[in-house]
Structure 1
Amino acid sequence: MATTLHDVAILAGVSIKTVSNVVNDYEHIRPATREKVLKAIAQLGYQPNLSARSLRSGRTGVIGLALPELSLSYFAELADAVIRAAERHHLVVLVEQTGGGDRAREIEMLSSPRLQLTDGLIFSPRGMDQNDAALLTVPYPLVLLGERIFGGPSDHVTMRNTEAAKAATKHLIDAGRRRIAVLGVHEGELVGSSSLRLQGYREALEEAGIDFDQRLMAPVDRWYRADGAEAMRSLLASGVQFDAVFGFNDTLALGAMRVLQEAGLRIPQDVAVMGFDGLDETKYSLPTLSTVDPGRDEIAETAVRVLADRIENRDAPPEQYLTNFSVVARESTATG
């Protein structure tokens, strides 16, 4: 038979109410009593009835996380950071994928029956845009990530895309580079990571007195290694001269590095390479890849904290949170 609260109470020598308070993380419990109950729980292998607890409290202790696709390293690392942050808040994370920018699936996600299993949702859309802001008016706590929708009815946590891209471009300029190619442009995009990072790139060029050259723009459909590699092959075949490459994410930059090396170009002597996202794997590429750390851990911690606060207080007006970034200089842009 399954172990009950009564069994735990007998072993710990406390009341059933005390065991219940420990299980439900009630804060006003003496440390010695809490430790005694937890030891009894561990010894007996007691598993709390989460469904019953949810019915009593109106809370599940579970939050949702909806991301475009975990096959992109940035989102996989973001999911890991959110899960770790949630653990610190005693929350469990239910992860969903929305199809890599499929607008219909993202809209469907907002009304998914599975959300009934959660207390709130952290949502990173890539197919929806500013015109869909009204769809974020939902009957549960929601924290928005990313750059597709601003000024909506929900809390919003995002990175400083334009400022960070400007700093990354300035890093290349300070290293003596003047012909900086860009990988990751989404043609026709008005709002999104690509357009914001392109804006930062152009601002850095303008401040340095460097003319913008459209020929240095390498458009891509997606931000995978294969796309970075293909864009670099096209750039090399065009004959346009460049002495640096700024990939709008690390995976594009890593794909480009492979093609540059296959072409016999030295990194950074012939071409400096810069990425964006601060992926763990950039520490181990050859050469190591300079990148922008956009504050992914801060994004995760802030999103979880804001959602937890929103679960407690749904009446406060929505707020926007901008995380900090840092330029991480490594071998791929070294000057010495």
Structure 2
Amino acid sequence: MTGNNVTIKDVAREAGVSFKTVSNVINGNDDQMRAETKDRVKDAIDRLGYRVNRSARALKTGRTGIIGLGVSDFDQPFEGHLANAITRVARARGYAVIVSIYGKDAASREEFAASSRRINADGWALLYEEPLDVDSPLFRQDHPVVLISDYSAQNRYDVVTMPNADAARTATMWLLGHDAKTIGFIGAPSELFSDRYANDSERESAILTAVEGNAALRLQGFIQAVRSCGGTVNWKYIMPCDRMTGLGGSAAAFDLIQRGDLPDALLCVNDAVAIGAISTLDKSGIRVPQDVQVCGFDNIPDGEFSTPPLTTIDPHIDEYATMAVDALIKRINGQDSAPNVYTSGFQLLERRSTLPA
């Protein structure tokens, strides 16, 4: 038997389960199923080389077996990291994934809305990095939508998010416990430094009352940690980034160096920013971690191979992707309950960009 000839009944016979059980595993309807049973079905699928007959499925069910992943662009490595994780999880559920860039301007989003209807995916997961605009063409879909976002969906869609404030608070406390008496933050929202805020007290108040946005929430966790240790936030060490990329991190670190007074440690809003900051520190003769410790956020693969390897918050990207895919599949399968918010776990990964305990 080859993968093209294997049927669900063959898989059920091999695994010693019912046809319906195999179907539930393939379609992601296995929340209440014992882990041992799921593993047995997946092992049988792998051994027999079973592949979903997508043409037959589409004719029978009106579904294509395709999940769409929409991203604004690929200007930082996290998007690619997430796309890989989403694809791995979706394939394990019997779905293919198509990735489309929806862009950052109205024309690009109109084009995406039209093309997404032609693709006719069963549902779309959208990596959304700004406050929700319910009138956006991104949401003119004929199929279910799940947001992967650090912004509120206004109770319109399921949202998969990260524990931004909690994780940043943990990282800051950890740095304070590793010989860092002064800590800076790179990647603060740029609007904090506009004329809207008259002083640092107003900036801090705005961040502490923020409820969305990864830069704001990660800075919020940073401020909370400093305060909980009896310290005050020194805003000369809080640096904005126009773009949360390596270039943005490099530019922010350069501006900080030009001021002539560096903190003992830097918490960066993401790993791309942290790697850019490390590069500029190194070029300026500032040693990491001996002179300045650096911690990132996201645990992208590049961080492990930076010089030195980057200490970071791991937001459990596989769990994050699994929650997004499973939430979308449930909606595809007709779940019509109130929208949910799913939050991944996290852990701090200690590498050599920070001092050892």
Name the CA shift for 1:250/1:47 in 2 (closer, same or farther; >3 Å): closer
Quote the Cα distance in structure 1 between the aligned partners of 2:91 and 2:54: 19
Provide the TM-score with structure 2 as the length reference. 0.77
Question: How far has the Cα of 1:209 moved from its partner?
Answer: 1.1
Tell me the equivalent position of 1:178: 181
1:96 aligns with 2:100: yes
Name the CA shift for 1:177/1:115 in 2 (closer, same or farther; >3 Å): farther
Name the CA shift for 1:103/1:210 in 2 (closer, same or farther; >3 Å): farther
Structure 1 gap segments, 5+ residues each? 1-10, 13-18
1:324 aligns with 2:349: no
Tell me the equivalent position of 1:61: 65
* CA distances 1:59-111 after superposition (whole Å, capped 9, x unpaired): 10001000122241111010000000001000000101122x44664466456
Contact 2:54 2:64 in 1 (8 A): no
1:72 aligns with 2:65: no
Quote the Cα distance in structure 1 between the aligned partners of 2:328 and 2:238: 38
Q: Percent identity?
A: 32
Tell me the equivalent position of 1:294: 315
Quote the Cα distance in structure 2 between the aligned partners of 1:69 and 1:26: 42
Name the CA shift for 1:174/1:139 in 2 (closer, same or farther; >3 Å): same
Quote the Cα distance in structure 2 between the aligned partners of 1:88 and 1:206: 44
Quote the Cα distance in structure 2 between the aligned partners of 1:185 and 1:98: 25
Quote the Cα distance in structure 1 between the aligned partners of 2:190 and 2:69: 29
Find the residue that maps to 1:275 and give its secondary structure.
Answer: strand
Find the residue that maps to 1:157 and give its secondary structure.
Answer: strand
Question: How far has the Cα of 1:291 moved from its partner?
Answer: 0.3
The correspondence of residues 277-316 of structure 1 with structure 2, limited to 5 A, is: 277-316=298-337
Quote the Cα distance in structure 2 between the aligned partners of 1:218 and 1:85: 36
How many equivalent pairs are there? 306
Structure 2 gap segments, 5+ residues each? 20-44, 193-209
Name the CA shift for 1:109/1:149 in 2 (closer, same or farther; >3 Å): farther
The correspondence of residues 205-284 of structure 1 with structure 2, limited to 5 A, is: 205-284=226-305
Tell me the equivalent position of 1:7: none
Quote the Cα distance in structure 2 between the aligned partners of 1:176 and 1:73: 30
The correspondence of residues 168-207 of structure 1 with structure 2, limited to 5 A, is: 168-188=171-191, 191-207=212-228
Provide the TM-score with structure 1 as the length reference. 0.82
Quote the Cα distance in structure 2 between the aligned partners of 1:159 and 1:227: 22
* CA distances 1:207-227 after superposition (whole Å, capped 9, x unpaired): 011111111111111011111
Contact 2:271 2:300 in 1 (8 A): yes
Tell me the equivalent position of 1:31: 14
Larger Rg: 1
Question: How far has the Cα of 1:31 moved from its partner?
Answer: 3.2
Find the residue that maps to 1:156 and give its secondary structure.
Answer: strand
Contact 2:82 2:317 in 1 (8 A): yes
Quote the Cα distance in structure 2 between the aligned partners of 1:77 and 1:142: 21
CA RMSD of aligned residues (A): 3.0
Question: How far has the Cα of 1:283 moved from its partner?
Answer: 1.3
Quote the Cα distance in structure 1 between the aligned partners of 2:187 and 2:178: 22
Tell me the equivalent position of 2:169: 166
Question: How far has the Cα of 1:270 moved from its partner?
Answer: 0.9
Find the residue that maps to 2:231 and give its secondary structure.
Answer: coil
Contact 2:269 2:296 in 1 (8 A): yes
Contact 2:296 2:313 in 1 (8 A): yes
Quote the Cα distance in structure 1 between the aligned partners of 2:297 and 2:313: 5
Amino acid at match of 2:313: V
Quote the Cα distance in structure 2 between the aligned partners of 1:115 and 1:26: 33
